[in-house]
Structure 1
Amino acid sequence: MNKPWLSLYPSEIPHEIDFEQRTLQSYLKEAAIEHPSKTAIHFLGKKLTFQELYDQSLKLANYLRDLGVKKGDRVSIMLPNCPQAVISYYGVLFAGGIVVQTNPLYMERELEYQINDSGSQIIITLDILYPRVSKVKALTKLKDIIVTGIKDYLPFPKNMLYPFVQKKQYGIVVKVEHNGENHLFTEVMKESQVNEIDVDIDPENDLALLQYTGGTTGFPKGVMLTHMNLVSNTTMSVKWMYKCKRAQEKVIGILPFFHVYGMTAVMNLSIMQAFEMVLLPKFDPETTLKTIQKEKPTLFPGAPTIYIALLNHPDIQKYDLSSIDSCISGSAALPVEVQEQFERVTGGKLVEGYGLSEASPVTHANFLWDERVPGSVGIPWPNTDSKIISMETGEEAQVNEIGEIVVTGPQIMKGYWNRKEETEAVLKDGWLLTGDLGYMDERGFFYVVDRKKDMIIAGGFNIYPREIEEVLYEHEKVQEVVVAGIPDPYRGETVKAYVVKKQGTTLNEEELDVYARKHLAAYKVPRLYEFRDELPKTAVGKILRRALIEEEKQKIAK
């Protein structure tokens, strides 16, 4: 195969890795044996060692088995970044189950769809999310709800004070009894045993994860990722970051674990390498700056919006960020000026990578300590091949010719859950058609220039226009609507809805906003609305979303 980029690899990074055929959870057991008393998780002052993390994961696994979880059963995890999210993830895997990562921002409609699609009968969630989950229970096959709270893993006296903070912040304090089909995480840890469970897992073929993603048609699809998909991608990350020393690094965990990038680049990497994870349940610039100064993390995987928000904090100069050594940015394009400014402030390295849920997720990245090209997403990782397919000929494109990026490697998904046709549309002879447009230069650096898909990436979140359109179409006063991602200097893109009102009705932005917030997660709600008499269409009546995006770009250019 023609892989010009291999000549750029430093001697420390192998071209090919001989991967161990192992389950993801076996790395947690290994870390607990090798480093039992080392801190695995630091969470707002509370510390958990690798031994404690392993024991508590096994306790949960045994409890899940008692609830009837068998090999291949799906268990949903709807949690922010907290110790329980890590315990739950590995606990499900130890039980032989398949993790279904569920965004805590999901509203009832989205939650009902994902639970039904995945077939989950158990969900592990946060107390403040319990009312939302309980509302959809009767509409799904959910049998058991395991409930935890942020306070459960806070040190004293924060754990005593947190309910008051929660009430002030969210307006509610939820109390759930430990009985019947509701189970308290704290009681699970008291009642359950630390027993190893023998489940016969084939790492190459058995699923570890259903990671929901979307596209231009319909609702999100469950990406089927095997143990080896995730083990291979995490191992590639270890080799790429060759200066990082096993059991000596600290990773700041702001990227959410329900997003495949945070799951691999923070959680799975930290467990595989016995790194300490410094977790924050949500991103707040000031809290992040204080945490970096106090805890001194060395690795900072992130998204451009995170780095931009920190750089724009008025007091950034007051904080010591010099512990930051390495950052790989994903989820959206990294502006060159942000990269350069962040490196000046921290003294560390910040480089851009590329990937997608279907690839566990990383396929390309720039080198951290060797040559990199600003504006490029870098070169393919070990054991990974990539090429550009011409949009005109369907053959491999010429150097610097724009076409569709396709990738292959051991990290590529098995397919979409229960969606044979959609799987066959994107997996061709082992190659994944990404739907992204880009080109490769003479030396093998890749560049992403646009998306074939209509997916919007705002603030690192993947947002699917049709899902929003379907919600807005249900409003009684909406005749036509199209949703598009328009350029935004901070979020990368922002969601804008173009609306045609039904004749004789009055409808304003505020009314639509209230309606959308009832049915969509906050990050999907349009930030902008524009009312029009008509929308641009093709001869067959298809609304031209791309034409609207071009209008917005021309406005900005002026």
Structure 2
Amino acid sequence: MKPVLTGAQILRKCGTTGRGRLPLGRCVHSIASKKEDENIVYSPFPSVELPNSTVPDLVFSRARNWSTMDAIECGITGRKYTYGGMIDRALRWGAVVNKVMPPGARKNVVVYCKNAPEFPVVVLGTMAVGGMVTTINHNFTADEVSRQLEDADGELMVVDPLMEGLLRQVLAKLNLQLPVFTNGPSQFGSPNLQEIIEDTTKPFAEVAETHPESIAMMLYSSGTTGKPKGVALSHRAFTSNMVMFTQPSVFAYRDTSAEYQENILGILPFYHIYGTHVVNMFNLYKGAKTISLPAFTPNDFVRIIRDHKVEVVHLVPPMLNFLTKSPAVTPKDLASMRVAMCAAAPVPPSSAIALKEKAPNPILFQEGFGMTEALGTHMTPLNLERIGYCGKLVPNVEGKVVDTDTGEALPEGRRGELCIRSPSMMSHYHKNPEATAETIDFDGWLHTGDVAIHEDGFFSIVDRIKELIKVKGYQVSPSELEEKLLKHPAVMDVGVVGVEDERAGELPRAYIVRKTEVTPEDIMDYMKERVAPYKQLKGGIRFLDALPKNATGKLLRRELKEMAAQDP
């Protein structure tokens, strides 16, 4: 039986709808009703038994089945590790973490690296000794790295040599003295991670007894509201999702055997939930081989698919558009593909159809849905392709679409906010209980901020309640950009919205009220040094005499979106 709130509890929990309190509609809806139960959608697939284990326990135990097979290879240098070799190197790294960290440390290791074979080595080795991993986007500016480091409470850094100079500037500015290891030769004398894990005289760490509810990773996401937040994810969340999502009804990898192993392209960034979980962790769980690329370059992207005969390709919409529209990509280059998995942003049906038409052999197009706060929740069944929908709920997941005003669960065909309940949800937002309470309600439903509909068990994301802008699958917070712009001496007021773009999905556009004379070029130059490339105002800059606001002074972002639609 679901718990029922007393009137006093409702008042305490809901008193206002301001920051840190649940909206009244959500709280009232916490009192369960039969009507709601009728409109909850359950996975059409049988529930699966979930492991009571940590990520290293699960991965290491399964890796024994394919210990001599390749786990990961750098697509540029050819540097690679077998499954057995990866585990050895992970345990050497774990011994280093134990040695460097003082007694009582949480062992919070921050990874600030491009995609490389050592990335999963560091992740697994840190987790194996009871530590947690947080990642930093390697495209971030110094300001962005600084803000995340201040929030993350990291205790040890692993950095790509190319970013070590910027990192050391940030550490000096923050007056932080953290041990720094580089994934390769350092210009500053830092220990070389690659040399350490290759040294066979180094000891192996013992795998620590870690509770499955302990935090395994903290990945930063803009979430459903506001600035980037640390999403704390437990071992149980990851291991549950590995088992739930890789069921044969929805997951296209073939089983690994002595005769066969999937080759999977690791181009999606490993600091992001798609790259580190859906690609890396799923590959490790299934015994696939990852061919990693440190950055997207058209020639290498196509070369890996063609030369390694990649059959299942993980994509985001911009990569999909590249494959379909670039004359450099021939049907012959796509000959090995049998499945395209696409997520991170809504997929234009025309792009999916174009890929199927361009490829010389039949391709199953699978669109999925997930988010950092809930991991993978939806996937297109292998036997039921439905382009334009992000699939059905994977095993053990419940979903519903609720009225955004009343919180009432709606029947199929009605638009509302998508809510999810799953064993793989986040534990909390780091140091942000208010945002946690705004996102996960009393009954354990995670409110995604996405507007969806469902029909016959298939879900489609049709809009977003939240104001985040999705650029090539990355979330961009308008309030973050507005905060930066308001520090410009010539900017009096500003509102940022996303404008549609065929290649990127959306691009940020700023509507600015000027204090003094300033040009769009001045603003562009100002932002170049302050935010990552994908956050730049590539959707343009427009100047207004005043921003549209309501009686309480709240920006009417909807009207800015309408302006943008009339001025593409």
The answer (yes or no) to whether the contact 2:486–2:492 under 8 Å persists in 1 is: yes
CA contact (8 A) 2:157 2:179 kept: yes
CA distance in 2, matches of 1:522, 1:541: 31
Q: Equivalences for 1:474-513 in 2 at 5 Å?
A: 474-502=487-515, 505-513=516-524
Residues 194/249 of structure 1: CA separation in 2 closer, same or farther (3 Å cut): farther
Alpha-carbon deviation of 1:285?
Answer: 2.1
Q: Does 1:431 align with 2:441?
A: no
Q: 1:140 to 1:547 in 2, by over 3 A?
A: farther
User: Relative to 1, partners in 2 of residues 1:358 and 1:67: Cα closer, same or farther, differing over 3 Å?
Assistant: same
Specify the SS of the correspondent of 1:363: strand
Aligned-partner SS, 1:55: helix
Q: Does 1:145 align with 2:145?
A: no
**Deviation digits for residues 26-81 of structure 1, max 9, x if unmatched?**
24423543222211112122322112211111111111111116674311111111
Alignment match, 2:67: 36
Query: How big is the shift at 1:475?
Result: 0.9
Structure 2 letter corresponding to 1:99: V
Alignment pair present for 1:59 and 2:103: no
In the alignment, the residues of structure 1 paired with residue 198 and residue 310 of structure 2 have an alpha-carbon distance, to the nearest angstrom, of 32
CA distance in 2, matches of 1:3, 1:370: 25
Question: What is the alpha-carbon distance in structure 2 between the residues aligned to residue 318 and residue 489 of structure 1?
Answer: 22
| Runs of 4 or more above 6 Å deviation | 3-7
Q: How does 1:345-364 map to 2 (within 5 A)?
A: 345-346=358-359, 347-359=362-374, 361-364=375-378
| 1:287 counterpart (288, 297, 300) | 300
Query: Counterparts of 2:370 and 2:177 in 1: how far apart (Å)?
Result: 32
User: What's the TM-score, normalizing by structure 2?
Assistant: 0.87
2:403 counterpart letter in structure 1: S
Matched residue SS, 2:264: strand
Note closer, same or farther for the CA distance 1:324–1:140 as it changes in structure 2 (3 Å cut): farther
Residue in 2 that maps onto 1:50: 83
Q: Deviations over 1:170-228 (max 9, x none)?
A: xxxx6221xxxx3221342255724132312111x111010111147543111111011
Contact 1:250 1:277 in 2 (8 A): yes
Question: Structure 1 stretch 381-390 or stretch 76-85: which is displaced more?
Answer: 76-85
Please name the residue that 1:383 is paired with: 396
| 2:316 alignment counterpart | 303
Against the structure 1 CA distance between its residues 482 and 49, is the aligned structure 2 distance closer, same or farther, given a 3 Å change threshold? same
Give matches, 1:521-536, under 5 Å. 521-527=532-538, 528-536=540-548
What's the CA shift string for 1:352-407, capped at 9, x where partnerless?
Answer: 11111100x2111211x211322111211100000011124321112211111100
Distance 1:554 1:531, change over 3 A: closer
8 Å Cα contact 1:329-1:351 kept in structure 2: yes
Matching residue of 2:52:
21
The aligned amino acid for 1:109 is D
Larger RCO: 1 or 2 (CA < 8 Å, sep 6+): 2
Deviations 1:325-373 (A, max 9, x none): 22221111111111112123333222211111100x2111211x21132
Q: Which among 514, 517, 530 is matched to residue 525 of structure 2?
A: 514
Whether 1:244 and 2:275 are equivalent positions in the alignment is no
Distance 1:251 1:71, change over 3 A: farther
After TM superposition, the structure 1 = structure 2 runs for residues 253-268 of structure 1, keeping only pairs within 5 Å, are 253-268=266-281
Residue pairs, 1:165-176, within 5 angstroms:
175-176=187-188
Q: Give 1:512's aligned amino acid.
A: I
The 2-side partners of 1:437 and 1:40 are apart by 38
What is the Cα deviation at residue 3 of structure 1?
8.0
The answer for the alignment partner of 2:9 in structure 1 is none
Deviation at 1:485, TM superposition (A): 0.7
User: Are 1:222 and 2:230 counterparts?
Assistant: yes
The whole-number CA distance in structure 2 between the counterparts of 1:242 and 1:373 is: 15
Contact map agreement 2:159 2:181 (CA 8 A) in 1 = yes
Are 1:107 and 2:151 counterparts?
no
Deviates more, 1:423-432 or 1:31-40: 31-40
Q: TM-score, normalised by structure 1?
A: 0.89
Match for residue 562 of structure 2 among 544, 550, 553: 550
The percent of aligned pairs where both chains have the same amino acid is: 27
Moved more, 426-435 or 22-31: 22-31
Equivalent in the alignment of 1:198: 207
Is the alpha carbon distance of 1:26 and 1:3 closer, same or farther for their aligned partners in structure 2, counting shifts above 3 Å? Answer: farther
Q: What's the Cα RMSD here?
A: 2.0
**Is the Cα–Cα contact under 8 Å of residues 97 and 107 in structure 2 kept in the other structure?**
no
Q: Residue 127 of structure 2 aligns to a residue in which SS? A: helix
